[in-house]
Structure 1
């Protein structure tokens, strides 16, 4: 159905009567190295997370998702795993993970942890054994080792490029010092891809699932969920794999929208059998354990295949994130998302920010608020901070009013922007180095949180140390400066989550209410709440008889100003 044939007012999604927690939950992402530091070394750790779990309870979320804390050389901030069954000393020890899970459960929070199955670290025992073994050996069969092309094998086995820039192949050196085979890595050279056709790989990860499920975790977020299986023969591909950049959205419910990775290394049919096998493992445990996939897949009908009844429970809606500040695109994505997911009986899982993208308080302040650069730094266009925050608050209320599940990234409840002037000498993201600085990378969205505006390091660490510097203007965004302050971003999030819970918006339905003031205004009804978002440049009138439950800005008085979302009590 094209945009032109959509009625201006219609029911897009019926209320969800299923009781499973993950269908309507609000889940808070913790990036451990930047959340809170208990040890004083300037790097966040698991005891620091545990000490601040009450913050999440006060905020009103249902669960916490932890980015990787496994043993790792930290070449890609822990997404290069050397041991999936241990905690890296940087973050603590295994007992600290147990204590965190136990305390979260005491507080009524569920715990989701990251799983990184596409690749391991090059320091994983399997890869070390592979390098020590001969070509064609069982040890090498667990990865993608290939002979090179060219007269002397001097060319990579195919033309694939790394998502982080440069070739997706690195050549090994044999024990006698001569050049050897090549191995595949869709990301950094220190992240060799596993071969998921190998039964040992499949058995190993099912055992890893059970290891953490036995320790009490409530589910897993699956990294690069669409990338584990490659096309047979690893054929050449003339496209370019890159960090995703959003466009203005799809024109119909099954079109591409700029939120998908393409090529023979992504979204292959074989990934679905992996998720069916994992779902069988999760279903043997009580407590309604869940799995969410990070699958940059389009169109939405293909993304919905990851959340069929016997596969994952949730999949991030990156089409929504990529649509940016553009009302027609958002309306199309929201409508198409419900159409696709409702067909398979799955909830839609909304997200605006995470550890891999420029925070929405920054990217919505750019001159083109539909653009999503891979990082912002010196010499780049600097966002309008005031405009970006205003739009970010409005986008958040638009999202949190939607039925389904929602993910929040740590610090967005404070209105944190990216650190867009971070010194390049301090950057750690491998994407920055592999592209020669052409891509600034993700460090700007990973800066340690400000807890106390007057404390050294804004209270992140007892010593004041922070592994990345915090912008000075973050003092006014610190938790203690916003807690209890009427109109603060933090209190807006708290109010939104309270109303969302009281009104059961997560399990509600969605009825579009047309375009009462032009295409730049979105209006929908969810239960007894009407959400109206003005993405245009001019104020629009509000119904005189509709009480305001919550607004993203303070200047709502009979009109809805530009860059504002309001929740109204339906008449």
Structure 2
């Protein structure tokens, strides 16, 4: 099977604010990432995805961009970026940037111009609507109770912001409502205007010409909205959920068919530079493999998309096996991704923690991520089993966490600084960090795990080395052997080799069918085969070539 570089890569996500601070302001920066390139090489990853580094007022920590071609001074300069890119490439590590173009910052010159006058040349670059007269009380059943009345008018429809409140904000200067799927300071672009596409594509090409290897597209299925601006229907039992956004079924404010032609055009641009793309597809609660795969087209839209069903999955072998089957079926001939953690979700370690068994469970998750079919995305710190940080109310920085406190919806716990060593600042910073360090950093840190051959970090490094040595694990076909009560077993096959993978998700020993072959790797260090897996054992066995 002939593959592209992005199909065989392991992509490491860095949240720049939390990786390494070199200038003493308590915030990670580009020189800090550059300082750790040697570590990335030692770990064995092939590419890095950086969360946003563009110029931003930082109300949503970089996901509110005011200059798509600038580097925010918090992270460094364009010279720092160029040096980072060059050194990554010299170490055979690709670089992906976050592309946040569903919306801009309200301080972006485009929006400043758009709101200056109704006659502005850029007025139609954003989504503006007149208000409507208030409706009778029964309209509350349609979700209109969440609207904010201004001058006797309510917003054009009942759409809600992901971050709380109506998705419409009144602009006094021009007397109209503008749409924002997130904060009011993050107005949505109007992708129905071809001038927007032209301008954004020009900004994308700016980075491609610099040598960037691809992009992660933020909330890619939100770009287009219903042209008629119809109300979203209410979700059955939606009142049980904590946020008004979750009261609705989002059939009109996302996932519109006009997205597919746009992605085809974007794919042509990216392919000219041998660059890749991966799309975040925003869905409710549990993931949607069919929707996520739909943005791959016939291999002519996005290169990859994220389906978060596996990330949301509980510790249940049958459900995990079903999730993999469904995701691979949805992708068809397109290429899947595998993801267990990111900057928006609780840490994988914390989601699946179970007392003294937590480290063993983390190793099972690592084996699943790095041996199943697909491009794995490894979130910084997961390789040492970082947990959710404990964030007091006065320490919250995430606007979602602040708005909905005391509900546990803050994203801050998964964004705490990387734990490099046991020093007072964990090797992250010599100053007060922007978020508090994890309280176990004196014991759970990279330096401690590098000298412990049984650590989570060593296990990740072994798995990454195994992937490099065996093409079947990078690009081979996948077939399920079985997904029973305790053991998930699957086969990876290419033209040269067959590898069987057994993952025991249980704290009990499990019997498996006898296998003859070479043990490539075992989480328990075994070198001889039996028909029994130890509790929480992961094992990879190389069989004879297929007939």
TM-score with structure 2 length normalisation?
Answer: 0.88
Match of 1:11 in 2: none
Tell me whether 37-46 or 389-398 shows the greater mean CA deviation: 389-398
Alignment of 1:168-567 (within 5 A): 168-174=167-173, 180-239=175-234, 262-285=250-273, 288-296=274-282, 299-308=288-297, 309-342=299-332, 345-365=333-353, 384=354, 386-419=356-389, 421-453=390-422, 455-461=423-429, 463-504=430-471, 505-515=473-483, 518-527=484-493, 528-542=498-512, 543=514, 547-552=518-523, 559-567=532-540
1:132 paired residue among 116, 132, 144: 116
- Gap change, CA 1:317 and 1:24, over 3 Å in 2: farther
For these two proteins, the number of residue pairs brought into alignment is 508
- Gap change, CA 1:562 and 1:172, over 3 Å in 2: farther
Tell me how far 1:412 sits from its aligned partner.
0.5
- Structure 2 residue matching 1:331: 3-state secondary structure: helix
Tell me how far 1:478 sits from its aligned partner.
1.5
Gaps of 5+ in 2: 135-150
Q: Deviations over 1:252-309 (max 9, x none)?
A: xxxxxx9x98421121111111211111111222xx2111111135642332221232
2:446/2:457 contact within 8 Å kept: yes
1:166/1:435 contact within 8 Å kept: no
- Structure 2 residue matching 1:234: 3-state secondary structure: coil
Tell me how far 1:547 sits from its aligned partner.
4.9
- Structure 2 residue matching 1:457: 3-state secondary structure: coil
1:296/1:318 contact within 8 Å kept: no
CA distance in 2, matches of 1:232, 1:296: 19
- Structure 1 residue matching 2:133: 3-state secondary structure: coil
Tell me how far 1:334 sits from its aligned partner.
1.1
- Gap change, CA 1:437 and 1:73, over 3 Å in 2: farther
Higher relative CO (CA 8 A, sep ≥ 6), structure 1 or 2?
A: 1
- Gap change, CA 1:553 and 1:262, over 3 Å in 2: farther
Match of 1:161 in 2: 160
2:8/2:474 contact within 8 Å kept: yes
Match of 2:55 in 1: 71
2:126 paired residue among 143, 158, 163: 143
1:226/1:267 contact within 8 Å kept: yes
Tell me how far 1:137 sits from its aligned partner.
4.3
CA root-mean-square deviation: 2.4
1:118/1:225 contact within 8 Å kept: yes
- Gap change, CA 1:101 and 1:474, over 3 Å in 2: same
Gaps of 5+ in 1: 1-16, 246-257, 366-383
- Structure 2 residue matching 1:529: 3-state secondary structure: strand
TM-score with structure 1 length normalisation?
Answer: 0.84
CA distance in 2, matches of 1:496, 1:467: 32
Q: Deviations over 1:425-451 (max 9, x none)?
A: 111111123324424310000001011
Q: Deviations over 1:379-430 (max 9, x none)?
A: xxxxx454343322212201211122110000001110111x2111111111
Tell me whether 136-145 or 262-271 shows the greater mean CA deviation: 136-145
- Gap change, CA 1:467 and 1:296, over 3 Å in 2: same
- Structure 1 residue matching 2:187: 3-state secondary structure: coil
Tell me whether 189-198 or 146-155 shows the greater mean CA deviation: 146-155
CA distance in 2, matches of 1:473, 1:548: 35
- Gap change, CA 1:346 and 1:530, over 3 Å in 2: same
Q: Deviations over 1:534-563 (max 9, x none)?
A: 224532135475554333457999542444
Tell me how far 1:477 sits from its aligned partner.
2.0
1:159/1:167 contact within 8 Å kept: yes
Match of 1:373 in 2: none
CA distance in 2, matches of 1:388, 1:174: 55
